[in-house]
Amino acid sequence: MKIGILVNEGPYTHQASDSAYQFAVAALKGGQSVHRVFFYHDGVYNGSSLTDPPRDDRQIVDRWSKLATEHKIDLVVCVAAALRRGIREQNLAPGFRISGLGQLVESGIQADRLVVFGD
Amino acid sequence: MKIGILVNEGPYTHQASDSAYQFAVAALKGGQSVHRVFFYHDGVYNGSSLTDPPRDDRQIVDRWSKLATEHKIDLVVCVAAALRRGIREQNLAPGFRISGLGQLVESGIQADRLVVFGD
Amino acid sequence: MLHTVNKSPFASSTLTQCLNHLAAGAAVLLIEDGVYGATAGTGAGAQIASCLKRFPVYVLGPDLEARGISSNQVVEGVVTVDYTGFVKLVVEHDAVQSWL
Amino acid sequence: MLHTVNKSPFASSTLTQCLNHLAAGAAVLLIEDGVYGATAGTGAGAQIASCLKRFPVYVLGPDLEARGISSNQVVEGVVTVDYTGFVKLVVEHDAVQSWL
Amino acid sequence: MSEGDGETTGVVKKFLFVNRKAPYGTIYALEALEVVLISAAFDQDVSLAFLDDGVYQLVSANNPAGIGMKNFSHTYRALDDYDITKLYVERESLTERGVSEDAFIVPVTVVSRAEMGHIMAAQDVVLSF
Amino acid sequence: MSEGDGETTGVVKKFLFVNRKAPYGTIYALEALEVVLISAAFDQDVSLAFLDDGVYQLVSANNPAGIGMKNFSHTYRALDDYDITKLYVERESLTERGVSEDAFIVPVTVVSRAEMGHIMAAQDVVLSF
């Protein structure tokens, strides 16, 4: 089954990004496919290449990047939300791409389920 | 009277940054002095030089920068919170500086009032 | 102590909790989504009306206007202030507690 | 429809509102701070117990553990699942509604 | 719009946008509306639900000039041009807040809480922000 | 620490850190604790208030390994080393949540809601996150 994921909050501040990540990992382990992870609202901050959290803490941006590489997951950051918040190509982490809101609606249509994580 | 301000949320997402700005402007107009504006938690995103909001919307980061220049207001972004969230010298807007949490406690001691804006 | 409340009382328990902790010399200022609490004829409005018997309650006018709440919808006795009035309240009280 | 709730019922009205909107085929999953709602002996726990008469209620184990809530504190009848169980619930229901 | 083309052609799902947050205090209402407008290009069966503090989004007298924000209430009027006409508002949420649908900027269908529950249950995709 | 020197020398204010949010669901509790620890260097009269969902921060059985987060409960134990000993917890908040102070990681002073109100009223600087 194809599952789409929407992440509405940034890393560290709210648990939404953590929950979405743990959910995505479990879905992949369980043999489901992750159609796309769409980052909206403050969720776009998950795509920042400049985060440098304490070493003994989880590396939220890095693990999204790794998930994208290892499982060919499409990580899409909303362009309008990103511009408002200072995320651009120049500070976009590997594995993420910037695109329009149509990608979220498309995920709703193409995926069998859409799961939203937010505040 | 010296007033310190703490901003806990990022631009656009929550009204906290707007309220803090309007409050600071009114304080200055009323003859008070703004001791410091300290940005903590997601508040550090107010210091991003890369935001590019729609032209017909308020330019939140720019207006903080202008306030700093025109009224010599000390805008301090918390270093620990900023590292976690991808704000560094390289994407820090004019008029902001990055420093430690001690600057917040110091503002609490030196200012006559400390007003907190958050979620 | 000036207490500020910025959450809608219909979504959050913050207004109730703030009102439960007022002590001598307290005043309350509703800002942002907190201004919905000043609406007359609601449960929150009744709490505010009850609070007014002991403490002054203020509401930020620009936040009321933003949300389309006209002055005749506001609980009687609640005083509307602008940002200048907000600053004045901060100056007049010995400290400020933001209920976030 | 699988309904997820991620807010503490003591701070937010979200759990109550979710429970007020359940229809045939609904199930509830408490995650993040929403797991506090599963605590037996509280007002929220009573709402959950009442809900269980008509709908299944699940709670995310890793979120319970994170918050130090042991299984004997959870309302009887609430089923604890891990992230794998969360995925399974999503697959088994025709759609998911997140109460944010 | 090209976004509506491609692999999605022909599939029509029931999309529900759930609005439970007040405008201006946070950006969720505004950014949710942006998704709704984009969804119009995909020829889906789109509904909007307004309940809890989400009912405040539709109040026509909103005037955020004094807090330096843009008024986006008029955007709800544009929904009709995009053939998005199913706007459901929960009666109990209105009553609790002392809000009348007469104050709204667009025509809506007021439904009971129970009816709202059934509308929600009938959806394929539920987006909440 | 040099941060405690300079212009602030000699001034002692009553600082209250108000904790009303649950841990882990958001970062506020953790980042608030970071400010509390820094404040110790400034020789101020520091108190911590735990009420509403903030009381959950002190539960000793917290174990966030399964959600990939660090356990920061033990940091509350370090407060004593910094001479931060005034930890006030509101009784009504405990009762409403079915939480017992026996479950706490550090000794606290349990106070009534009315007493908490008086503690708040006595402060010079109130920090809430």
Average pLDDT over residues C70-85: 97
What is d(CA C9, CA C14) in angstroms, rounded to the nearest whole number?
7
pLDDT band at F7, cuts 50/70/90? low
Nearest-Cα distance to chain B for A2, in Å, is 30
Element containing residue E74 per DSSP (H, E) = none
User: Are C21 and F120 in contact, with CB atoms under 8 Å apart?
Assistant: yes
Residue F2 has pLDDT above 60, yes or no: no
pTM value surpassing 0.95 = yes
Answer yes or no: is F95 within a domain: yes
What CATH number did the domain enclosing D18 receive?
Answer: 3.40.1260.10
Whether the CB of E128 is below 8 Å from some CB of chain D: the reply is yes
Judged by DSSP in three states, B88 sits in: coil
Residue F115 has pLDDT above 80, yes or no: yes
Model confidence pLDDT, tens digit, residues F71-102: 998 899 999 999 999 999 999 999 999 999 99
Residue B51 has pLDDT above 50, yes or no: yes
Average pLDDT over residues A63-85: 98
Residues contacting residue A18 through CB under 8 Å, at least 6 positions apart: A58, A60, F67, F68, F69
Nearest residue on chain B to E28, alpha-carbon basis: B13
Chain E residues touching residue B14 (CB < 8 angstroms): 25-27
Nearest-Cα distance to chain D for A106, in Å, is 16
Chain-chain contact of C11 with D12 (C-beta, under 8 angstroms): yes
Closest to F64 measured CA to CA, from F54, F49, F55, F74: F74
What is d(CA E84, CA E1) in angstroms, rounded to the nearest whole number?
16
What CATH number did the domain enclosing E114 receive?
Answer: 3.40.1260.10
Give me the sheet containing F125-128, strands edge to edge. F109-111, F86-90, F45-50, F14-19, F125-128
Chain-chain contact of C17 with F121 (C-beta, under 8 angstroms): no
Residue F5 has pLDDT above 60, yes or no: no
Whether the CB of E52 is below 8 Å from some CB of chain D: the reply is yes
Model confidence pLDDT, tens digit, residues E101-127: 999 999 999 999 999 999 999 999 999
Q: Which residues of B touch C (CB under 8 A)?
A: 1, 3, 8, 15-16, 19, 22-23, 25-27, 29-30, 32, 113-119
Q: What is the pLDDT of residue F10?
A: 85
* ipTM at complex level: 0.96
Model confidence pLDDT, tens digit, residues E7-59: 567 899 999 999 999 999 999 999 999 999 999 999 999 999 999 999 999 99
What is d(CA F99, CA F93) in angstroms, rounded to the nearest whole number?
8
Tokens of C13: 């328990």
Residues contacting residue B70 through CB under 8 Å, at least 6 positions apart: none
Chain A residues touching residue D35 (CB < 8 angstroms): none
Mutate to test the interface with A, among B51, B64, B77, B78 (most CBs of A within 10 A): B51
Q: What is the pLDDT of residue E3?
A: 46
Nearest-Cα distance to chain B for F124, in Å, is 8
Tokens of B52: 């590019």
Q: Give φ, ψ of A44 to 5 degrees.
A: -60, -25
The residue behind tokens 């991620």 is D6
In chain E, how many domains are there?
A: 1
The residue behind tokens 């809601």 is F113
**Could you write out the three-class secondary structure of chain A?**
CEEEEEECCCCCCECHHHHHHHHHHHHHHCCCEEEEEEECHHHHHHHECCCCCCCCCCCHHHHHHHHHHHHCCCEEEEHHHHHHHCCCHHHECCCEEEECCHHHHHHHHHCCEEEEECC
Count CA atoms within 13 Å of residue E61 on its CB side: 15
Residue among E26, E27, E69 minimizing CB distance to B58: E69
What is d(CA F103, CA F66) in angstroms, rounded to the nearest whole number?
20
Chain-chain contact of B83 with A51 (C-beta, under 8 angstroms): yes
Residues of B known to be catalytic: 78
Nearest residue on chain E to B14, alpha-carbon basis: E26
Judged by DSSP in three states, E8 sits in: helix
How many interchain CB pairs under 8 A, B with F? 63
Residue among E22, E59, E61 minimizing CB distance to C8: E22
Write the DSSP string, E19-63.
E-S-TTTBSHHHHHHHHHHHHGGGT-EEEEEE-GGGGGGGBTT--
Burial class for C70, CB neighbours closer than 10 Å (0-12, 13-18, 19+): exposed
CB atoms within 10 A of CB A73: 19
Chain-chain contact of E117 with D22 (C-beta, under 8 angstroms): yes
User: Are F54 and F20 in contact, with CB atoms under 8 Å apart?
Assistant: yes
Q: Which of A78, A93, A98, A111 is catalytic?
A: A78
Q: What is the pLDDT of residue F28?
A: 98
User: Are C15 and C9 in contact, with CB atoms under 8 Å apart?
Assistant: yes
In chain A, how many domains are there?
A: 1
Residue among E20, E121, E129 minimizing CB distance to D1: E121
Whether the CB of F17 is below 8 Å from some CB of chain B: the reply is no
pLDDT band at F8, cuts 50/70/90? low
Residue among C33, C87, C98 minimizing CB distance to B26: C87
Give me the sheet containing D96-99, strands edge to edge. D79-81, D57-60, D27-30, D2-5, D96-99
Nearest-Cα distance to chain C for B110, in Å, is 13
User: Are A85 and A48 in contact, with CB atoms under 8 Å apart?
Assistant: no
The residue behind tokens 């498309």 is A106
The residue behind tokens 């941006």 is A61
Model confidence pLDDT, tens digit, residues D1-54: 999 999 999 999 999 999 999 999 999 999 999 999 999 999 999 999 999 999
Q: What is the pLDDT of residue F40?
A: 94
Model confidence pLDDT, tens digit, residues A1-23: 999 999 999 999 999 999 999 99
Segments forming the whole domain that contains residue F83: 14-128
Segments forming the whole domain that contains residue C58: 2-99
pLDDT band at F38, cuts 50/70/90? very high
Model confidence pLDDT, tens digit, residues C25-68: 999 999 999 999 999 999 999 999 999 999 999 999 999 999 99
* pLDDT, chain E, mean: 93
Answer yes or no: is F8 within a domain: no
Q: What is the pLDDT of residue E10?
A: 85
The residue behind tokens 């439960």 is C20
Report F:82-121 residues touching D (Cβ under 8 A).
96-98, 103
Q: Does chain E touch chain F (at least 3 C-beta pairs within 8 Å)?
A: no
Chain B residues touching residue F127 (CB < 8 angstroms): 6, 104, 108, 114, 116
Average pLDDT over residues E69-82: 94
Neighbours of chain F (3+ CB pairs under 8 A): A, B, C, D
CB atoms within 10 A of CB D32: 27
What CATH number did the domain enclosing A10 receive?
Answer: 3.40.1260.10
What is d(CA E27, CA A42) in angstroms, rounded to the nearest whole number?
10
Residues contacting residue D40 through CB under 8 Å, at least 6 positions apart: D73, D74, D75, D76, F98
Chain-chain contact of C86 with B23 (C-beta, under 8 angstroms): yes
Chain E residues touching residue A8 (CB < 8 angstroms): 28, 129
Alpha helices in chain D (DSSP H): 14-19, 43-51, 61-66, 83-92
In chain D, how many domains are there?
A: 1
What is d(CA C4, CA A26) in angstroms, rounded to the nearest whole number?
43
Segments forming the whole domain that contains residue B113: 2-117
Whether the CB of E127 is below 8 Å from some CB of chain A: the reply is yes
Tokens of D73: 């504190």
Q: With the CA atoms of B106, B108, B112 and B116 taken in that order, what torsion angle do they form, in degrees rounded to the nearest 10?
A: 140
* pLDDT, chain A, mean: 98
